[in-house]
Amino acid sequence: MRYWDEHMECMERGTLQEIQLKRLVETVKRVYTSVPYYRKKMQELGLIPEDVKDLSDLQKLPFTTKQDLRDNYPYGLFAVPLSEIVRIHASSGTTGKPTVVGYTKHDIGIWSEVMARTLVAAGADKHSFVQIAYGYGLFTGGLGVHYGAERIGASVIPISSGNTKRQIQLMVDFGTTLLACTPSYALYLAETMEEMGIDKSQLKLKSGVFGAEPWSENMRKEIESKLNIKAYDIYGLSEIIGPGVAFECEYQCGMHINEDHFLPEIINPETGEVLGEGEYGELVFTTITKEGLPLIRYRTRDITALHYDRCKCGRTLVRMEKVIGRTDDMIIIRGVNVFPSQIESVLLEMGEVEPHYQLIVDRVNNLDVLEVLVEVSERMFSDEVKKLEQLEKKITKAIEDTLGISVKVRLVEPKTIERSEGKAKRVIDKRKI
C-alpha cells in the first residue's frame, strides 16, 4: 500500500475524532478572539467558544460563504498579524472581487503535507518526474502541487499551463512520469499529441492527478486510454487550502478527505440541515489546523456524499464521492436540476463523438430551452448526412432519457468548440432572469 503518513491516514476513527475535537475547540477559540467577523456572528447566535464541547456542536456554528470573504476583502478574515502571512493567493474573481487567502509558514507546511499524501497515493515517490501543468501565480493549483512534489523528493517540472506543444515535447524529453493538470487539458494534450504524430508509447507517463473541475468516470476512461495512464481525481479549493483537500487511492472508490485538517459535513443546500452518511448534499468544510485564514463551516457549493467505512486501501479517512455538480453551476431548466456532468457521461458512452460539448440555455416564448452542441469525430463528420442525422437523434434520445426534459442537439465540426487550458466553460446561459 502507498502511504505518505500511514499513522494519520489509517488511524482508528475514535482516536481521529479526539484529535479533530481538540483542534476544532482551539480553532473556534482562535477565530472568536482574533477575527471580529466571527466573534460578531457567534455573539448574534448567543454562542461562546466554550459551547463547543463535542464534534456534534459544530452544527451550532455559523456558516461562511464566498460572499463573506468578498465582504471582508482583502484581509478582514485573517486570524494572524499580516507580518506572519508569508504567501497570498486569490481566486480569479470573475464575478466581483477576488477571494483572498493568506498562509503562514505553518499553513504552507500543512499544504505540502496533504499534497504529499495526494501524490504518493497516485504512485509518486522520490524517483518520479512530476510535470505541473496547472497555472502558477495567484491560482493555488501550480504551487500547491509543486510543494507537495518537493516534499516527497520528486523531480518537479514547473511548466505551468499553456504552450501545449512544448508541454508534450518536454514530457517526451524529460521522461515525465506523473502529470498534474485539469482533466479537460489532459484530453487536449492527448489530442495535440495525435496531431504532432507522437505516440503514447513514447511517453514514460504512469499516472496523472486531475482536478479543479468536475469530470465523469467516462472522461477518466478516455484520458486513461489516450495517455496510457492511471488517472486520479483530486479535490481542493483555494479558500480551504488549495489542492490537497481530498485525493483518490488506487481503489478509486471516492476521494479520501484529509480530515485531520479539514472537517467535512454534508448539508441540505436549501435548509442548512446536516445530512447523514451517503446522502447527497452540499459539502461544507471547517479548517481545524490553519492559522492564516481559518474558516468555520465554509459552504463549497459542491454536491457530493460522504462514506465513513474503512477503505480497501486501509485508510480510515472519510471518502467523498466525485462531485456531481455545484449548487451554482447546476442549471434549472423547467424545474429540472441539470448538471453538465450528466450530459458528459451520456456523450462519452456513445463513443462516436468527442468529449467536447457546450450547453446553451435560453428562454424562448417564456419557456426554457436547452441546446447541446456536440463535436463529432473526424471519421463521423466525413460520413454521409443521413448517418449524422441518425447520430443526432440517438444522442437526443439518450440525453432526454437521462434528464427527463426535451433538448435540442446540434452536431458541430471537430475542433469548433473552444478549448481551454484551465477549466472548461461548459454552460452559456442566455436567459434574462
Tens of pLDDT, residue by residue over 194-210, are: 999 999 999 999 999 99
pTM exceeds 0.85 = no
- Determine the residue type at 344: E
Give ∠ CA 79-80-82 in degrees, rounded to 5: 125
Residue 154 CA, distance from chain mean position: 23
Q: For the chain, what are the domain ranges? A: 1-327, 331-429
DSSP string, 202-242: G----EEEE-SS---HHHHHHHHHHHTSEEEEEEEETTTTE
Q: What distance in Å separates the CA atoms of residue 396 and residue 398, rounded to the nearest whole number?
A: 6
pLDDT score of 22: 98
- Please give the CATH architecture assigned to the domain spanning 1-327: 3-Layer(aba) Sandwich (3.40)
pLDDT score of 429: 86
Phi/psi for 424 (5° steps) reads: -75, 140
pLDDT score of 96: 56
In Å, how far are 186, 187, 227 from 190, measured between CA atoms?
6, 5, 6
Superfamily designation of domain 331-429: ANL, C-terminal domain (3.30.300.30)
pLDDT score of 433: 46
pLDDT score of 432: 65
pLDDT score of 1: 76
pLDDT score of 327: 81
Q: Which residues of the chain have pLDDT under 70?
A: 92-96, 432-433
Residue 313 CA, distance from chain mean position: 22
